[in-house]
Structure 1
Amino acid sequence: MKHMTNVARAASWKTASSRSERSERIRSALLSAAAEVVGEVGYAEASVTMITQRAGVGQGTFYNYFKSRQDLLDSLLPDLGEQMLDYVRDEAVGGSGFRDLEEKSFRAFFGFLKSTPQFPRILNEAESFAPAGFQKHLDNVSKRYIRFLQRSMKNGELQDYSEGELEVVAYMLMAARSYLSQRYMSPDGRSVELPRLAADAYMKFVLYGLVGRPPEEK
């Protein structure tokens, strides 16, 4: 998510061609500003004043789009999560089979973090400060991940799993991405650099597990 000044944000909606487009741009600017503010100071310190100043709108305008500060905070992670999912999907286009698609999407997740470095903090603090948004995000991501695993199963892959186990698999892989993003975050929390070794180890684990199949099943 590229940083945009409040002047640029204001200009973006002033040039909107319709009232609905202007409304959509203002709401997007508020969410974008909130992401920056929460990424910098955390949920607890992020105030409506800080967010509206960053977005370049008046506080009265804020309440035309969100019922309260908490309403915005609960909307923040799901909004960013949808952006992340769309980015990962677009980057994985052209992948073939589970192995290729999983590796592309894994690397794309960390590519998204480079452009949106505030995402890990927003995700990790959400459970405490925006629980409704946190749960919605988990539901959104897990549902899309499960659909991907179901398609792989229908294509003859993942034969060692039942369909009922796919939700468990999805949450394990989601957790791996989250914790790896924390492990490889820079000391100042402003970037995540995933070493090739880590990406290779992740794929080795996904494909072969810790001990592989029992000898009699190979």
Structure 2
Amino acid sequence: MKPQAPVKLKRTREAKGEDTRLALFEAAVQVVGEEGYAGAGIAKIMARANLASGTFYNYFESRQDLFNQLLPALGERLLAHIRGRIDDSVAGIEREKQRIEAYFDFCRKTPGFLRVLNEAEVFAPEAFHKHIRRFQDGYRRSLIRSHSRGEIAGWELEEIDVLVFMLMGLRSYMTMLYQYEYIDPRKSNIESMINIYAKLLKNGLFSK
């Protein structure tokens, strides 16, 4: 029987390699969040990660390769965060509230995320569209489940895809209020915004 030590050593190296890769992603999120993609040079990212510059090419072919992977990796973290914050026992409008509360909680805990997302369409378009499609698919499946349970009244299944992008658009502009304070912060704090969002979804906008 072959000794198991080499296998254990290999796994340890793989784990360390993944830790380093995640550290590079985290450093890139911080640097892009502060200086944008244009200012996020390899040297700055490596310095933030406290790693030697040459280490970078063990994990990425180029700076653009890192940019192309950055938003999708962040998106997976965001989805995992949202899933972990949703109570499986709730449904309908309460589930939607929990989903958007988790989204803003992630934004608060990951301040570089919004700039990574907002600039990606120009600096990493493949990553941007991959991220949008990933969220479109998840949102679509969620709304179809709600529709099948009778939680969404008055809508046809073929209208779900358009509804998905409308809701994603609402969240995007709510994020601008959170990030840039276009109106008095006392009137646009996260809790009040989420309550207004839920009221809009529940009651609609026009009575006639």
User: Which category of TM-score, normalised to the shorter sequence, fits these structures?
Assistant: 0.7 to 0.9
Q: Secondary structure in 2 aligned to 1:43?
A: helix
Measured at CA, do residues 195 and 56 of structure 1 come closer, stay the same or move farther in structure 2, by a change above 3 Å?
A: closer
Amino acid in the other structure paired with 2:189: L
Task: For 1:15-26, list aligned pairs within 5 A.
Answer: 18-26=12-20
Q: How far apart are residue 195 of structure 1 and its match?
A: 3.7
1:107 aligns with 2:86: no
Task: Return 5+ residue gaps in structure 1 as ranges.
Answer: 1-15, 188-192
Residue of 194, 198, 201 corresponding to 1:206: 201
- Find the partner of 2:189 among 176, 190, 194: 194
Looking at structure 2, the residues matched to 194 and 95 of structure 1 have their Cα atoms a distance apart, in angstroms, of 27
What is the number of equivalent residue pairs in this alignment?
193
Judging by fraction of residues, say which structure has more helix.
2
Counterpart amino acid of residue 209 in structure 1: G
CA contact (8 A) 1:78 1:137 kept: yes
Residue 86 of structure 2 is matched in structure 1 by 92
CA distance in 1, matches of 2:176, 2:127: 20
Task: Give the residue type in structure 1 aligned to 2:178.
Answer: Y
- Once the two structures are superposed, the pairs formed by residues 9-158 of structure 1 within 5 Å of their partners are 18-158=12-152
What letter corresponds to residue 197 of structure 2 in structure 1? Y
TM-score calculated relative to the size of structure 2: 0.86
Structure 2 counterpart SS, 1:159: coil
- C-alpha deviation, 1:21, in angstroms: 0.6
1:24-56: CA deviation from partner (whole Å, max 9, x where unpaired): 111101100000000010011100111111112
**Partner in structure 1 of residue 168 of structure 2:** 174
Distance in 1 of aligned mates of 2:27 and 2:192: 35
Task: Name the SS of the counterpart of 2:75 in structure 1.
Answer: helix
Residue 78 of structure 1: how far off its partner (Å): 1.0
After superposition, the CA RMSD in angstroms is 1.8
Contact between 1:66 and 1:72, CA under 8 Å: does it hold in 2? yes
SS class of match (2:205): coil
SS in 2 for 1:42: helix
* Structure 1 residue identity aligned to 2:198: M
The CA deviation string for residues 115-167 of structure 1, in whole angstroms up to 9 with x for no partner, is 01111111111111111111111011111111111111111221322222212
Q: Deviations over 1:78-101 (max 9, x none)?
A: 111111111111111234222111
- The 8 Å contact of residues 120 and 178 in structure 1, kept in 2 or not, is answered as no
* Aligned-pair CA distance for 1:186: 5.2
Q: Contact 2:104/2:190 (CA < 8 Å) preserved in 1? A: no
CA drift at 1:203: 0.7
